[in-house]
């Protein structure tokens, strides 16, 4: 961006556009985005955009991201208030108002993205990146590197300690409660306890159960929970240190590394999840190791894949990602073709590792080992959350339109009356829990046939149901779950998990402080909404495209696949499903801070102008 003084006519146009934008935004959003404050903000953003004289690629990228942001804000506002797109599509007047608001917000958001790109480039420049270290340089500077990474890991580990003291011996989610009950052979939501099921990762069911047994051997299951908390905190700190080490070797300065580590340490979401016994957290150390491997692969332009030790580490890490979080298999499979496109010289090696890891997990582990061990497969209903939501909404909206044959076919899979009565637009569990546990393939085939026929008659209601389930990933919904502060007690088999200190009021205060106070503070509040993770990820992708070309984002397709999986998730705006992106974001931001002139034409042009 090259700054030149604005002419009077440009200032007048920016002011007129700001006034018009504020009027359009207020007409749809009310005072949420309207009024004098909105007009001043728009004027500042528009004048900055004109003053900076951005490159064409920056303008196009900013408008695309701004347009996506605007579309989801307009739709999200409607779903947040009336659970449908009615505020947009009710009549021609609402459609016109929403369209004008969309255009105004696209211009405003696009200008804001340009401002963020400018700020990001200034921060990157001040981070004093240095040349990438070769093997000899790394050997010479190994002492500085080791001290820096140990300091970063210590900062991140220490950041979780105050929260662990408050919530000792740790935290968990309801799924973990079920896994522990299942391990000890007691009935739970996922079975009668007679056998293990693959509803949740069996590998983690065994790991969690062993920690509980270890605690019982020491005299109290809470000691097992506490030990797990420390192991989890250490593993996550080590994972972040691996990412920061890869960035250090790629040329990021010590000051930048320490700054990233400090931000990780002080961000409460990382601190509170660091000791949460939860499958979505247990996978994150391996996601971090994977992120570090991607950075090294990209830094070496694929040469790292010629080393057997690197390939062995990648294979083992991918396998552990799938063992601890089953959806990782789909995201890794989605990412594989893009990695093969990116690294031409090592395609056969990478293909062998990636296909081998997925095949070993899906065929060898899930298809052979688990059945041989008597493990019952997970239920199909977990993959049908969105269709079930669509069906329930259809039954509530067009009950008289459903034929007796269709109703009979649907009833073979879900409880129709319960689904209609307990339908929650943002959570599929009330409908999903009515699934017939004894349904056959023929039952499912009949249900899907009725599902398709109904959707062809009224596709709008299906769209409504789906958008209700995903808008929370793009809109700051009050139903967003950003932190989980529970310790679910199985209270069976001697496992009686309770908080060490009687500080219930302090724990309640922290929960309310995050959800009802921090969320209300400008500039700070967005950090405690789930949608910020999505938009930060998309912004980093844009920066990488501008700096490194489209090829620069191909290594990150695993995380794009993770976002795609969230579009089929059973809950709207659930941070647990976005955690791979959340934990990888610091590394992505650090990677984007390192310039790459060769593959970024707009940066070469800017360098020539300077």
Determine the pLDDT at residue 69: 95
Full 3-state SS string of 220-281: CHHHHHHHHHHHHHHHHHHHHHHHHHHHHHHCCCHHHHHHHHHHHHHCHHHHHHCCEECHHH
The predicted-structure confidence for 184-221, as pLDDT tens digits, reads as follows: 989 887 777 778 888 889 999 999 999 999 999 999 99
Q: What is the DSSP letter of 191?
A: B
Q: Is the pLDDT of residue 305 over 80?
A: yes
Q: Is the pLDDT of residue 437 over 80?
A: no
Residues paired with residue 481 on neighbouring β-strands, in sequence order: 574
Q: Is the pLDDT of residue 139 over 90?
A: no
H-run or E-run covering 287: helix 284-299
Sorted by sequence, the CB contacts under 8 Å of residue 76 that are 6+ apart come out as 471, 472, 474, 475, 477
Contact 93, 106 (CB under 8 A): no
In the chain, what are the domain boundaries? 8-126, 142-171+211-277+484-524, 380-473
> What is the SS3 assignment for 276?
strand
Determine the pLDDT at residue 606: 42
Q: Which of 71-85, 144-158, 376-390 has the lowest mean pLDDT?
A: 376-390
Q: What is the pTM of this model?
A: 0.91
Give the pLDDT band (50/70/90) at residue 144.
confident
- Highest mean pLDDT (candidates 108-117, 223-232, 251-260, 488-497): 223-232
Q: Is the pLDDT of residue 143 over 90?
A: no
Q: Is the pLDDT of residue 234 over 90?
A: yes
Give the pLDDT band (50/70/90) at residue 132.
low
Summarize the confidence of residues 352-373 as an average pLDDT: 93
Determine the pLDDT at residue 566: 92
pLDDT top residue among 87 and 126: 87
Which structure tokens are listed for 460? 């709008």
How much of the chain exceeds pLDDT 70, in percent? 94
Summarize the confidence of residues 228-246 as an average pLDDT: 96
How much of the chain exceeds pLDDT 90, in percent? 58
| HSE, side-chain direction, 13 A CA sphere, residue 468 | 25
Give the pLDDT band (50/70/90) at residue 383.
confident
The predicted-structure confidence for 569-607, as pLDDT tens digits, reads as follows: 888 889 999 999 999 999 999 999 887 644 444 444 444
* Mean per-residue pLDDT of the chain: 88
The predicted-structure confidence for 498-534, as pLDDT tens digits, reads as follows: 998 889 899 999 988 988 888 888 888 889 999 999 9
> What is the SS3 assignment for 304?
helix
Instruction: For residue 145, say if its preceding peptide bond is cis, omega within 30 degrees of 0.
Output: no
Summarize the confidence of residues 334-340 as an average pLDDT: 93
Summarize the confidence of residues 155-159 as an average pLDDT: 97
CA-based R_g, the chain, Å = 26
Q: Is the pLDDT of residue 281 over 60?
A: yes
Determine the pLDDT at residue 609: 41
Determine the pLDDT at residue 158: 97
Contact 426, 468 (CB under 8 A): yes
Q: Is the dihedral of CA 238, 240, 246, 248 positive or negative?
A: negative
The predicted-structure confidence for 43-68, as pLDDT tens digits, reads as follows: 888 888 888 778 888 899 999 999 99
Instruction: For residue 58, say if its preceding peptide bond is cis, omega within 30 degrees of 0.
Output: no
Contact 241, 153 (CB under 8 A): yes
The predicted-structure confidence for 104-123, as pLDDT tens digits, reads as follows: 999 999 999 999 998 888 88
Q: Is the pLDDT of residue 412 over 70?
A: yes
């Amino acid at each position: 961006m090259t700054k030149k003084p604005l002419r009077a006519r440009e200032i007048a146009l920016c002011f007129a556009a700001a006034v018009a934008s504020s009027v359009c935004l207020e007409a749809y959003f009310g005072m949420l985005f309207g009024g004098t404050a909105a007009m001043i903000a728009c004027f500042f953003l528009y004048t900055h955009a004109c003053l900076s004289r951005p490159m064409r690629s920056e303008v196009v990228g900013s408008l695309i991201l701004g347009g996506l942001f605007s579309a989801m804000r307009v739709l999200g506002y409607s779903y947040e208030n009336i659970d449908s797109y009615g505020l947009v599509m009710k009549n021609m007047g609402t459609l016109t108002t929403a369209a004008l608001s969309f255009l105004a917000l696209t211009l405003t958001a696009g200008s804001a993205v340009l401002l963020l790109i400018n700020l990001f480039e200034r921060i990157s420049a001040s981070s004093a990146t240095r040349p990438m270290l070769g093997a000899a340089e790394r050997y010479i500077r190994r002492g500085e590197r080791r001290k820096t990474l140990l300091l970063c890991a210590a900062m991140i580990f220490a950041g979780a300690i105050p929260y662990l003291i408050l919530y000792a011996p740790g935290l968990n989610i309801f799924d973990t409660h079920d896994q522990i009950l299942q391990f000890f052979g007691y009935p739970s939501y996922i079975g009668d306890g007679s056998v293990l099921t693959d509803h949740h990762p069996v590998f983690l069911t065994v790991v969690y159960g062993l920690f509980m047994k270890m605690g019982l051997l020491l005299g109290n299951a809470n000691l097992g929970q506490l030990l797990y908390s420390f192991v989890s905190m250490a593993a996550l700190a080590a994972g972040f240190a691996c990412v920061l080490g890869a960035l250090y070797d790629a040329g990021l300065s010590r000051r930048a590394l320490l700054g990233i580590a400090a931000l990780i340490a002080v961000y409460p979401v990382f601190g509170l999840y660091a000791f949460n016994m939860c499958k979505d957290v247990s996978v994150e150390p391996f996601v971090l190791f994977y992120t570090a491997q991607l950075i090294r692969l990209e830094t070496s332009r694929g040469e790292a894949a010629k080393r057997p030790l690197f390939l062995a580490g990648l294979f083992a890490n991918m396998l552990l990602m799938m063992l601890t979080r089953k959806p990782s298999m789909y995201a890794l499979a989605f990412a594989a073709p893009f990695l093969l496109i990116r690294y031409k010289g090592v395609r056969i090696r990478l293909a062998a590792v990636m296909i081998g890891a997925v095949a070993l997990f899906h065929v060898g582990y899930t298809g052979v080992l688990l059945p041989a061990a008597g493990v019952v497969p997970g239920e199909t209903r977990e993959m049908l959350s969105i269709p079930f939501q669509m069906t329930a909404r259809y039954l509530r909206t067009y009950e008289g339109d459903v034929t007796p044959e269709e109703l009979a076919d649907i009833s073979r899979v879900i409880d129709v009356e319960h689904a209609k009565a307990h339908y929650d637009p943002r959570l599929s569990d009330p409908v999903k829990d009515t699934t017939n546990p004894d349904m056959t393939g023929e039952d499912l085939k009949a249900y899907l046939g009725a599902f398709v026929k109904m959707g062809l008659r009224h596709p709008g209601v299906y769209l409504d149901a789906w958008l209700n389930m995903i808008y929370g990933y793009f809109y700051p919904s009050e139903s967003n779950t950003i932190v989980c502060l529970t310790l679910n007690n199985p209270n069976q088999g001697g496992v009686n998990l309770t908080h060490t200190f009687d500080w219930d009021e302090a724990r309640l205060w922290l929960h309310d402080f995050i959800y009802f106070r921090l969320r209300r503070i400008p500039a700070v509040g967005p950090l405690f909404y789930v949608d910020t993770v999505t938009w930060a990820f998309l912004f980093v992708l844009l920066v990488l495209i501008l700096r490194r070309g489209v090829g620069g984002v191909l290594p990150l397709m695993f995380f794009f696949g993770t976002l795609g999986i969230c579009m089929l998730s059973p809950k709207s705006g659930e941070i647990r499903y976005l955690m791979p992106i959340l934990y990888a974001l610091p590394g992505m931001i650090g990677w984007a801070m390192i310039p790459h002139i060769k593959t970024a034409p707009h940066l070469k042009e800017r360098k020539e102008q300077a």
